[in-house]
Structure 1
Amino acid sequence: MAPAEDDISIEEKRVYAGTAGRTDAYVATGNGVVRVALSADKVGAFDMVAREPARDVAVLPRDDESDLVGIATADGLRVALVGDDPEFEPIDADTGAAVAAVAASVHDGAFLVAGEEGEIDRVAVEGGDGAPTAAAVTRVGSVSEPRAIDGPLVAAADGVYRVTEGDGAAAATDASAARALTAVGLDDARDVAGAGMPLAATGSGLYWLGNGWMTAREGAAEAVAADGDGHAMAVLDGDLLVHAGDASGTEAVAWDAETWGETELPVDEDPVALGYGPGISVAVTAAGTLCVDAGDGWRHQVVGVRDVAGVALAVVE
């Protein structure tokens, strides 16, 4: 087993953060949201920044204002500014947003939120660097038993859906017609990755979208994540698979079975939540251990949480 992070002094972490920058990992759990400071593969301080049980988490980058982090809760979407002291504000149910949220992601400058009853809402948030508020909530469509969202893709019990642009003429007079949900196949979808090559984790295997959905690996796939640049991870039959992509960037990236390989985490625990940040891969286990790889192997830190439901990364500095 690899050494834990307590062999790294606070001073070393500060020096490293000053040269490599800081990325915060927000981990959604049944006890609340834990924020873990990362600098490449160095794990720094971690703390509980929200004590309401969270079912999913997503980070919305913004060009001219502070990024936003949103969590899906039993009381709907809650949003905070990314920063040292995030304060999660509820998106008022009077706006029409789903009251009980089960999954969240970001797409086209807004949050996508799935409700318990299957409704998929697009939630645009405003507020600058003040308290975030909902600018507009649009019902995109509904699915059967939504399980996960990533980018424009939705994983549901009856397959994968994609958020598509609606008819231009209709959208000109009706904002709700600007986007719609389109079923794109498969069944028993448990997770999706919408950055770059579309990927889907289902009860029968891991799939990539070529000429239709193509099987990458057979088995029970529970989670998948991608960085949009040919790198991806997936949990299949309890094992963590990694897709390395083309390091040279000169060749088309293949996604068939041979391009995926197993990787060993430094702890004997099941990975359940996967995410990517600038130059780093993150896997969080069911036992509450965060593992991070910046290219030189996995390092880890126990963060002391259970019921892990998701992870999202935000660039801080």
Structure 2
Amino acid sequence: MAPAEDDISIDEKRVYAGSAGRTDAYVATGTGVVRVSLSADKIGAFDMVARGPIHDVAVLARDGGTADLVAAATPEGLAVAAVGDDPEFALVDDEPAVAVGAEGGRDGGLLVAREDGAVERVAFEEGEGGGPSEAASTTRLGSVADPRAVDGALVAAADGMFRVGESGLTDVGLDDARDVAGNGMPLAATGSGLYWLGNGWMTAREGAADAVAADGDGHAMAVVDGELLVHSGASEWDDETWWVADLPVDETVVALGYGPGVSVAVTDAGTLCVDAGDGWRHQVVGVRDVEGVALAVVE
């Protein structure tokens, strides 16, 4: 991969950490998972850490000194790896997966949407070196039509939004749900608009919404009618609290993610943009068919 545009060395991955620490962005693409090292808004080394079509990617934070996991939804099944300098992805099942997300409030659990519409909860035991064990327990929760995204305890699908509970899935409304943010204020991106969950689903912005992400602390981003919108962090979520971001590239954003103190947007042309509070910086990472992005704290 080509070096980053910033004037920092990329000879050693840890060089980006400094006082800001290091966060890795995992980008799911049609050809594999690309990992990009970040330190605040400095973009460092990037490399392909898994190959083959990847439909979605998520990071599962775990407590007690156990290594966090990065999970990839693939046509061959769910693949996971321990977050670190040398992640090694391994399949934990052979059921084609189209979306994956960390289930909020449940230590060690992922929610996985399968190609046939099944939604499952997958739990892991600690393996050697703090990574996942080869065996994972799986619980089927129900099914939806054409699942598109999973985040927190919410599933976005062609037939609407669904909430995950102990007993299964509950239809919570909307149609043509394309993406969901379940961390903090629930947000839904649909073919008719961007919605937030108040007294029912409330309209934040009308238009075709294709992507949404939130940090759980009042900050959020969404792509509506091809424009990247940013939420101010205010307690309100209506139209006036969103504004159009001034990105450094004239490209369409297709994937959104948050890490500690950083916002990440990845475009359809394979450009990763990051904002740590002082404006957007960017780096072309040379991939197409971007499907998703997830961020993991490394150090």
Superposition TM-score, scaled by structure 2 size: 0.94
Match of 2:98 among 88, 102, 105: 102
Write the letter of the residue equivalent to 1:275: G
**Identical pairs, percent:** 72
> Does the CA-based 8 Å contact 1:89-1:132 persist in structure 2?
no
Write the letter of the residue equivalent to 2:50: A
Write the letter of the residue equivalent to 1:114: A
Unmatched runs of 5 consecutive residues or more in structure 2 = none
Unmatched runs of 5 consecutive residues or more in structure 1 = 94-98, 167-179, 247-252
**Cα gap change, 1:11/1:307 in structure 2, threshold over 3 Å: closer, same or farther?**
closer
Report how far residue 16 of structure 1 moved. 5.2
Q: Deviations over 1:248-276 (max 9, x none)?
A: xxxxx000000000002111110000000
Structure 1 distance, partners of 2:91, 2:210, is 29
What SS does the corresponding residue of 1:310 show, helix, strand or coil?
strand
Structure 1 distance, partners of 2:121, 2:236, is 32
Superposition TM-score, scaled by structure 1 size: 0.88
Structure 2 distance, partners of 1:54, 1:11, is 26
What are the within-5 Å matches in structure 2 for residues 1-317 of structure 1? 5-10=4-9, 17-64=17-64, 65-93=66-94, 99-107=95-103, 108-109=106-107, 110-128=109-127, 129-130=130-131, 132-166=133-167, 180-246=168-234, 253-317=235-299
What SS does the corresponding residue of 2:18 show, helix, strand or coil?
helix
> Does the CA-based 8 Å contact 1:127-1:133 persist in structure 2?
no
What SS does the corresponding residue of 1:57 show, helix, strand or coil?
strand
Write the letter of the residue equivalent to 1:189: A
Report how far residue 11 of structure 1 moved. 7.5
> Does the CA-based 8 Å contact 2:14-2:22 persist in structure 1?
no
Structure 1 distance, partners of 2:75, 2:174, is 28
Task: Give the number of aligned pairs.
Answer: 290
> Does the CA-based 8 Å contact 1:190-1:201 persist in structure 2?
yes
Report how far residue 130 of structure 1 moved. 4.2
* Bigger helix share: 1
Report how far residue 206 of structure 1 moved. 0.3
Aligned to 1:174: none
Larger Rg: 1
Structure 2 distance, partners of 1:277, 1:10, is 22
